[in-house]
Amino acid sequence: MDIIEVTNLHKRYGATTAVDDVSFTVEAGEIFGILGPNGAGKTTTVECLTGLRAPDRGTLRVLGLDPGRDRGELRQRVGVQLQESRLPDRQTVGEAMELYRSFYRRPADGGRLLEMLGIADKRTTQYRKLSGGQKQRLAIALALVGSPEVAVLDELTTGLDPQARRDTWDLVEHVRDAGVTVVLVTHFMDEAERLCDRLAVIDSGRVTALDTPAGLVARVGAQQRVQFRPSVPVDERLLTDLPEVTDLRHHGQHVVVTGTGNLLQAVTSVLAVHHVVAHDLRVEQASLDDAFITLTGRRSV
Ligand code: ADP
């Protein structure tokens, strides 16, 4: 079932076209990523989706509602954590939680949410005294406090240290496992690859690809590299004759074989037959990073 439908969305700011004919759908229960470089139009897209901005053209449907017309109802059912959401400096975590709970018909248990996010001990701490990671966790807690059916999370882990990022990823999975459909805006490849079921890659206001992370990688040519140090010299032709192998090079004592399909198995089988032991064996897959660069011609960060 489609929870979100975006059809031919357009949005301009003066002379800047921020969103230029974007269409995609999000299914119930998935983590859907909107991935793209800075300025690609990601935030504008989710702002339109959540009724925070009026599109110039296009049709939007979220939980069967129109974000422009039914904004009040949607606010009850869609949790939003937008980039750089700020709270008053002197408001405590507990006060913010209570205030936000009061906005909703079906508020979640605030204490449990803070517990889940690892900031239960910050209840009486003022917003200005929280670390970047704690502010981020609070923003996520506040996005979830209305027991939403859909959570929109924008640049969730920007500015977090590696451990806090991983904890936040676990948390997003936890939220999805609890039945919430998640829209995740990110410019981080590793985050998209780890979390998202499907992704829309947006560049200069347009969707350049819409697929699973694995599908995107496959689309740019599923080249793999197998590297090893042979125990005895190998006859190159044994490897280059394999249909899976497209290239073979030597790097010092190492042999680097590039190819497609079940490359690793093909290479290791031939080596085994000829009693060659492959030391320091390493396999590298094309990554979502490679896919992104191919699709947008840019590095993500
Ligand atoms: P992203 O989230 O992918 O970084 P945005 O949706 O924030 O992209 O921005 C898309 C484009 O629209 C950018 O060129 C940005 O500078 C411009 N833009 C965003 N918000 C505004 C605004 N309020 N006024 C004018 N231009 C804006």
Q: Which protein residues are within 6 Å of ligand 1, measured from CB?
A: 13, 16, 18, 36, 38-44
In terms of pLDDT, which residue wins out, 7 or 171?
A: 7
- Alpha carbon nearest to ligand 1 atom 21, residue: 13
Classify residue 277 as left (phi > 0), alpha (psi -120 to 50) or beta. Answer: beta
- Please give the model's pTM, rounded to 2 decimal places: 0.79
Indicate the pLDDT class of residue 232, thresholds 50, 70 and 90.
Answer: very high
CB atoms within 10 A of CB 249: 12
Tell me the percentage of the chain whose pLDDT exceeds 90: 67
pLDDT tens digits for range 93-129:
999 999 999 999 999 999 998 998 889 999 999 999 9
Backbone φ and ψ for 244, nearest 5 degrees, come out as -75, -20
pLDDT at 71: 92
Q: Is the pLDDT of residue 239 over 80?
A: yes
Q: For the chain, what is the mean pLDDT?
A: 90
- Mutation test residue for ligand 1: of 10, 43, 188, 207, the one with most atoms within 8 Å of CB: 43
Q: Structure tokens of 29?
A: 């229960």
Residue 194, pLDDT > 60, answer: yes
What distance in angstroms lies between residue 209's CA and the mean position of ligand 1's atoms? 20
- Site to probe by mutation for ligand 1, drawn from 17, 20, 35, 44 as the one with most ligand atoms within 8 Å of Cβ, is 44
**How many angstroms is it from 25 CA to the middle of ligand 1?**
22
- The average pLDDT across 213-238 equals 86
Name the residue at shortest CA distance from atom 12 of ligand 1. 18
CA of 18 to the centre of ligand 1 (A): 6
Between 116-125, 213-222, 250-259, the lowest mean confidence (pLDDT) is in 213-222
**Contact in structure between 247 and 223 (CB atoms under 8 Å):** no
As a whole number of angstroms, the distance between CA 254 and CA 267 comes to 14
Q: How far is ligand 1, taken at its centre, from the CA of residue 174, in Å?
A: 31
Best residue among 9, 16, 188 to mutate for probing ligand 1's pocket (most ligand atoms within 8 Å of CB) is: 16
Average pLDDT for 163-190: 89
The yes-or-no verdict on residue 220 having pLDDT over 70 is: no
- Residue 221's pLDDT is 64
pLDDT in tens, 54-93: 999 999 999 999 999 999 999 999 999 876 668 999 999 9
Would you place residue 222 in the very low, low, confident or very high pLDDT band (cuts 50, 70, 90)? Answer: low
From the alpha carbon of 37, which atom of ligand 1 is closest? 3
pLDDT band at 167 (very low <50, low <70, confident <90, very high): confident
For residue 176, the one-letter residue type is R
Q: What is the pLDDT of residue 233?
A: 92
Long-range contacts of 232-238 (CB under 8 A, 24+ apart): 232/275, 232/276, 234/271, 234/274, 234/276, 235/274, 238/270, 238/274
What confidence score (pLDDT) does residue 301 get? Answer: 42
Q: Are 97 and 122 in contact (CB under 8 A)?
A: no
- Predicted confidence at residue 123, as pLDDT, reads 97
Strands 254-259 and 181-186: unpaired
Phi/psi zone of residue 275: left (φ > 0), alpha (ψ -120 to 50 degrees), beta? left
What is the model's pLDDT at position 106?
93
Q: What is the pLDDT of residue 84?
A: 64
Half-sphere CA count of 257, side-chain side, radius 13 A: 31
Q: Taking 90 as the threshold, does the pLDDT of residue 246 lie above it?
A: no
Length of the chain: 301
- H helices within 145-262, ranges in order? 162-177, 189-195, 213-219, 236-240
Contact assessment for residue 254 and residue 229, using Cβ atoms and an 8 Å cutoff: yes
Structural domains in the chain, CATH included, are 2-217 (3.40.50.300), 222-285 (3.30.70.100)
Buried b (16+ CB within 10 A) or exposed e, 163-188: ebbebbbebbeebbeeebbbbbbbbb
Alpha carbon distance, N-terminus to C-terminus of the chain: 34
Structure tokens given for 283: 């396999």
